[in-house]
C-alpha cells in the first residue's frame, strides 16, 4: 500500500493513459506499477473515433472491451477519451456520398449514432467521458473545426445532451489543453454554464496539463483551478506530463513546418537525462502535486498521459525521434525514485 494512489487516497484518483499495446498485453514491470500506483485509467487512443468507428456503420469494439475489462480487474475508475474531437476522426464523418460537405442535421445524426453506440456499450462501467475535447482556440474563440463550421456550438451541446441520455449515471466532461490561459478557460466555463442553464449536464472540466519545466506558472494553474471550481464544476488534470525538452512548437495548434529541420537542440538528451534535469523534473512535480493537494477538495482526478517514458507521445511530438522523459516511470518502467518521493 505504498503506491501513488495510496498517497492521495481520499484526495483524488491517480490515473494513467494506456495504449493499445499495453491493454492487449502488459509486460511484468508495467503490470506491477499499474496495479501498485494507479486507480484510474484513460484510453490514450483506442476509444477515439477513427479507432472505434473507422467506416460508416463499422464499429471495432475489441480493444475497447479489453480496456474496460482491464479497468474492472484493477477496480479502477475508467475514463472514456473521447467522443467528439477534431482530430483522429475520419473524413467520411463530414462528407456525404458524393464527397460533398454534409449538412448540420446529418452530421449531428452521425454524432448521435456514434455516442449511442460507443458510450452506450460501456454504460454503467465507465466512470466518466471526455464528451468533447479541444473545442476552443487559446484566445477563447471557438475552434474552426469541421464540427464547428458545420454545426456551430450545437455540436457540443448535443453531444452532452445525448451522452446524458445514453447514461445518466456517468460523468460528463469538457476537456482541453492550455486551460491555464484565462481566455480559453473562461470560454470553456462560459459554455459549461450556458449548458447548465439550459438543463444540459456537465460535471467537470478537464485541464490536460501538458506542461513544461517552467511554464505555466503555479499561479496560472491555480487561477484556473479556482475559476472552474468557483463556477461549480469538478476540476481534473487529465493528461499530465512535463516536457523536459526544448520545444519548437508552442503546444498544439501551431502548424509544424513539414520541412522542419530536426535540430540537435530540440533533442539534447538522447542517451539519458542528466541528473540535474531529473532533479528539476522532481521539483516541478513536487510543486504541482503540492498545488493539487492544496485544492484536493476541488480536484477529483490527476491522470498522467502515459505509464512510462517508453511510450510517451512526446517521443514523437512535435516531431519523431525525440527522446522524452516526461513521466514518473522511466523507459524500463522503473520508478524515478527521487521524483516519486517528492510527489508523495
Ligand atoms: C495523443 C496520443 O497520445 C498520441 O499517441 C496520438 O498520436 C495523438 O493523440 N491531447 C489529447 C490527446 O486530448 O488525445 C492527445 O493524445 C494528446 C493531446
Residue 223 belongs to a domain with what CATH number? 3.20.20.80
Q: DSSP letters of 99-142?
A: SSBPPHHHHHHHHHHHHHHHHHHTTTT-SEEEEEE--B-TTSSB
Q: Let me know: does 218 contact 287? Beta carbons within 8 Å.
A: yes
Does 312 reside within a domain?
no
Burial class from Cβ neighbours inside 10 Å (0-12, 13-18, 19+) for residue 28 reads exposed
For ligand 1, atom 12, the nearest C-alpha belongs to 44
Q: Is residue 135 part of a domain?
A: yes
Angle between helices 218-230 and 275-294 (to 10 degrees): 30
Residue 342 in 3-state DSSP?
helix
For the chain, how many structural domains are there in total? 1
Residue 27, in any domain of the structure: yes
Q: Which of 30, 44, 171, 239 is catalytic?
A: 239
Residue 67 lies in a domain: yes
SS3 of residue 305 by DSSP:
coil
Which DSSP letter does residue 4 get? Answer: H
The preferred substitution site among 22, 41, 45, 315 for testing ligand 1, maximizing ligand atoms within 8 Å of CB, is 45
314 lies in some domain: no
Specify whether 134 is catalytic.
yes
Residue 123 near residue 164, CB atoms below 8 Å: no
Look up 165 and say whether it is catalytic. no
Q: What's the confidence (pLDDT) of residue 316?
A: 86
179 is a domain residue: yes
Question: CA 72 → CA 26, 66, 69, 267, 319, distances in Å?
Answer: 15, 10, 5, 38, 35
State the DSSP code for 316: S
Cell 456525404 belongs to residue? 96
DSSP label at 94?
A: G
Cβ contact 298:276 at 8 Å: no
User: Could you report the predicted ipTM of this complex, rounded to two decimals?
Assistant: 0.99
Query: How far is CA 130 from its chain centroid?
Result: 8
List the pLDDT tens digit at each of the 344 positions of the chain. Answer: 899 999 999 999 999 999 999 999 999 999 999 999 999 999 999 999 999 999 999 999 999 999 999 999 999 999 999 999 999 999 999 999 999 999 999 999 999 999 999 999 999 999 999 999 999 999 999 999 999 999 999 999 999 999 999 999 999 999 999 999 999 999 999 999 999 999 999 999 999 999 999 999 999 999 999 999 999 999 999 999 999 998 777 554 455 555 555 667 788 899 999 999 999 999 999 999 999 999 999 999 999 999 999 999 999 888 788 899 999 999 999 999 999 999 99
How far is 343 from 5, CA to CA, in rounded Å?
A: 11
Q: Tell me how far apart the alpha carbons of residues 253 and 236 are, in angstroms, rounded to a whole number.
A: 22
SS3 54: coil
Question: Is residue 182 a part of any domain in this protein?
Answer: yes
The Cα 325–Cα 245 span in angstroms is 8
Q: What are residue 55's DSSP bridge partners? A: 58
- The pocket around ligand 1, CB under 6 angstroms, is made up of 44-45, 133, 177, 208, 239, 313
Ligand 1 center–CA 98 separation, angstroms: 31
Bond before 130 cis per omega within 30 degrees: no
- What is the domain extent for residue 99? 4-246+301-306
What stretch of H or E contains 230? helix 218-230
- For residue 184, being part of any structural domain is answered with yes
Angle at 202 between CA 201 and CA 203, to 5 degrees: 115
DSSP three-state, residue 151? helix
Residue nearest atom 15 of ligand 1, based on CA coordinates: 44
| Burial (Cβ within 10 Å: 0-12, 13-18, ≥19) of residue 269 | middle
- Specify the length of the chain in residues: 344
Exposure of 207 in the CB half-sphere (CA atoms within 13 A): 32
Catalytic: which of 30, 44, 134, 171? 134
| Per-residue model confidence as pLDDT tens digits over 200-222 | 999 999 999 999 999 999 999 99
Query: What's the pLDDT score for residue 259?
Result: 53
Listed residue (218, 221, 339) closest to 286, CA to CA: 339
Among the listed residues 290, 273, 289, the one whose alpha carbon sits nearest the alpha carbon of residue 326? 273
Question: How many beta carbons lie within 10 A of that of residue 191, not counting itself?
Answer: 21
Amino acid at each position: 500500500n505504498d503506491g501513488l494512489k495510496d498517497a492521495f487516497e481520499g484526495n483524488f484518483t491517480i490515473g494513467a493513459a494506456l495504449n493499445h499495446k499495453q491493454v492487449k498485453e502488459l509486460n511484468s514491470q508495467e503490470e506491477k506499477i499499474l496495479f501498485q500506483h494507479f486507480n484510474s485509467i484513460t484510453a490514450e487512443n483506442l476509444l477515439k473515433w477513427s479507432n472505434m468507428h473507422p467506416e460508416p456503420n463499422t464499429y471495432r469494439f475489441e480493444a475497447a472491451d479489453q480496456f474496460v475489462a482491464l479497468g474492472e480487474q484493477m477496480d479502477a475508475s475508467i475514463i472514456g477519451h473521447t467522443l467528439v474531437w477534431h482530430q483522429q476522426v475520419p473524413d467520411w464523418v463530414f462528407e456525404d456520398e458524393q464527397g460533398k460537405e454534409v449538412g448540420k442535421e446529418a452530421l449531428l445524426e452521425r454524432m448521435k449514432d456514434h455516442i449511442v453506440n460507443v458510450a452506450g456499450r460501456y454504460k454503467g462501467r465507465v466512470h466518466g467521458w471526455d464528451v468533447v475535447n479541444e473545442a476552443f482556440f487559446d484566445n477563447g474563440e471557438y475552434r474552426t473545426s469541421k464540427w464547428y463550421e458545420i454545426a456551430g456550438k450545437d455540436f457540443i451541446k448535443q453531444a452532452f445532451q445525448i451522452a446524458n441520455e445514453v447514461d445518466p449515471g456517468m460523468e460528463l466532461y469538457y476537456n482541453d489543453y492550455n486551460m491555464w490561459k484565462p481566455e480559453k478557460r473562461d470560454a470553456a466555463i462560459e459554455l459549461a454554464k450556458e449548458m447548465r442553464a439550459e438543463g444540459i449536464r456537465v460535471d467537470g472540466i478537464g485541464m490536460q496539463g501538458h506542461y513544461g519545466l517552467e511554464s505555466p506558472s503555479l499561479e496560472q494553474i491555480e487561477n484556473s483551478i479556482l475559476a472552474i471550481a468557483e463556477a461549480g464544476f469538478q476540476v481534473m488534470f487529465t493528461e499530465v506530463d512535463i516536457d523536459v525538452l526544448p520545444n519548437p512548437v508552442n503546444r498544439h495548434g501551431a502548424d509544424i513546418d513539414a520541412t522542419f529541420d530536426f535540430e540537435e537542440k530540440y533533442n539534447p538528451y538522447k542517451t539519458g537525462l542528466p541528473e540535474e534535469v531529473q532533479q528539476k523534473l522532481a521539483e516541478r512535480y513536487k510543486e504541482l502535486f503540492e498545488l493539487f493537494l492544496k485544492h484536493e477538495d476541488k480536484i477529483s482526478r490527476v491522470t498522467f498521459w502515459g505509464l512510462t517514458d517508453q511510450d510517451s507521445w512526446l517521443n514523437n511530438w512535435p516531431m519523431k525521434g525525440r527522446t522524452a522523459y516526461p513521466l514518473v516511470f522511466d523507459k524500463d518502467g522503473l520508478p524515478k525514485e527521487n521524483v516519486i518521493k517528492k510527489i508523495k
